[in-house]
Structure 1
């Protein structure tokens, strides 16, 4: 029998659902925008959008026993991902004028999915370390699949600060729970921490440590 989730405050549950759906749309936009940049057709744009938006959450839900996965049990997830792909296909020019659109969208999705993934893992009774890892995996999984589908090395494996930014967000969520702080402000701070570290690291050229002499 899968573990039963720990009841969450209604306001937090609503916020996590909103974060999940916004994260799906944002990551879907990043996948669709990348697909357009790679000159894929409409089907390719939709596939990349779905992969980026849903892969991480599906794996998370399978690992914690939340079945069926949220994206398969609630049509809003698929609709949000498909809407994001269609938006990227039709409006890629104004999106690209924003400057570094994939990176910015990716950073936003990274923060939203980290907090939602870690919080859901904690709600299903996981201890802090596996909950943090699942939060990171939720955030990074879709982007990794997206990059692999267009034959790019996933961002999570490059020298840019990526998984470390997600880990920071997971630590914020876990610390907030341990200190019994109000969950909604903690979730918002977690998302902002991930987004800020990710964007600043790219703008300033920060990178994760590499092996000495490599």
Structure 2
């Protein structure tokens, strides 16, 4: 059986740890250096697809919708969003690690069909929190697949997105009829309650990591 081979590394800004990109035939894996666990695998992207499709289906009546995605990853959420939206849409992806963009424009891009080549897609290298803080009623949907969800794994600074202050900033950045969507590796009742306390209607949807209906159970919170 073929083994994974490392084809790229990237430093996480502000951290001493690195991301590793590995390839085995047509399968890709992103891991944290020094850890045996995976952050992402190109064969397990059902929940990343669902993050986009569940949110974007709510934008059917929006003219020229603008969508912000926090976290490029392997490009599957971006690809699903573009597939769900019309020709007049704009999708901006905020990615903190520049090498992740390079990977998606290079060999990794084939996994999701090179969505960054779509003219509707734009990339912002930087923290999605900065874009959210600087936006006012700018986005019809904000999709956050950052770190591991409310329980951060790689970067403590990401936790702000899931605090009451982060939720309030996302609400301010969203258009009045917009939707927020959050990906998480697992359930978090405290986060569900935090969204409700912010005055949002909340639908926590359980989805599977592998389609159809297989793999780990992940959670997508839809809030509006």
TM-score bucket of the superposed structures, by smaller chain: 0.3 to 0.5
TM-score with structure 2 setting the length: 0.32
TM-score with structure 1 setting the length: 0.33
- Higher helix fraction: Structure 1 or Structure 2? 1
Larger relative CO (CA 8 A, sep 6+): 1 or 2?
1
- Higher strand fraction: Structure 1 or Structure 2? 2
